[in-house]
């Protein structure tokens, strides 16, 4: 909401709109049901020791960077699709996003 309020404030200053309709809107407070569990490095390393390379890497990024799990899953899916597409060496490959996929009527 802050971004919308700022954009409208600018629009008012530039006389593009008469008033800032978002000026009186307040952001609702979010109450957590519980506090997040923070894993100490010893626990993180114990978990990592039981995983393959890809999963060890994901756990490391989550544990040590502070990234949110949802952001990381979106990023890893994007990387997965990118590697699938770049690994394709044949012109008729049907990896998502390729011409063959679209010609076959499949969605990426």
pLDDT digits (tens, 9 = 90+) for 20-33: 988 888 877 778 78
Q: Is 12 within the bounds of a domain?
A: yes
Q: Is 78 within the bounds of a domain?
A: yes
Domain range for 2 is 1-26
Q: How far is Cα 13 from Cα 22, in angstroms, rounded to an integer? A: 14
User: Does residue 92 register a pLDDT over 60?
Assistant: no
34/92: higher pLDDT? 34
For residues 16 and 46, state if they share a domain: no
User: Does residue 5 register a pLDDT over 80?
Assistant: yes
pLDDT at 10: 92
For residues 51 and 18, state if they share a domain: no
User: Does residue 105 register a pLDDT over 60?
Assistant: no
Q: How far is Cα 42 from Cα 79, in angstroms, rounded to an integer? A: 29
- Mean pLDDT across 4-17: 90
User: Does residue 49 register a pLDDT over 80?
Assistant: yes
Q: Is 61 within the bounds of a domain?
A: yes
Q: Is 95 within the bounds of a domain?
A: no
Q: Is 89 within the bounds of a domain?
A: no
Q: Is 100 within the bounds of a domain?
A: no
For residues 19 and 50, state if they share a domain: no
For residues 78 and 45, state if they share a domain: yes
Q: In terms of pTM, does the model score above 0.85?
A: no
Q: CB of 104 within 8 A of CB of 94?
A: yes
Cβ neighbours around 59 below 10 Å, total: 18
| Counted domains in the chain | 2
């Amino acid at each position: 909401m802050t971004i919308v309020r700022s954009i409208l404030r600018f629009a008012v200053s530039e006389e593009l709109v008469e008033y800032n309709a978002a000026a009186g809107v307040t952001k609702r407070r979010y109450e957590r049901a519980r506090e997040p569990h923070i894993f100490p490095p010893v626990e993180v390393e114990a978990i990592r020791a039981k995983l393959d390379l890809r999963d060890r890497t994901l756990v490391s990024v989550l544990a040590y960077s502070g990234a949110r799990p949802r952001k990381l899953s979106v990023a890893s899916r994007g990387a997965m699709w990118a590697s699938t597409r770049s690994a394709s060496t044949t012109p008729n490959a049907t990896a998502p996003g390729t011409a063959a996929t679209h010609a076959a009527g499949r969605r990426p």
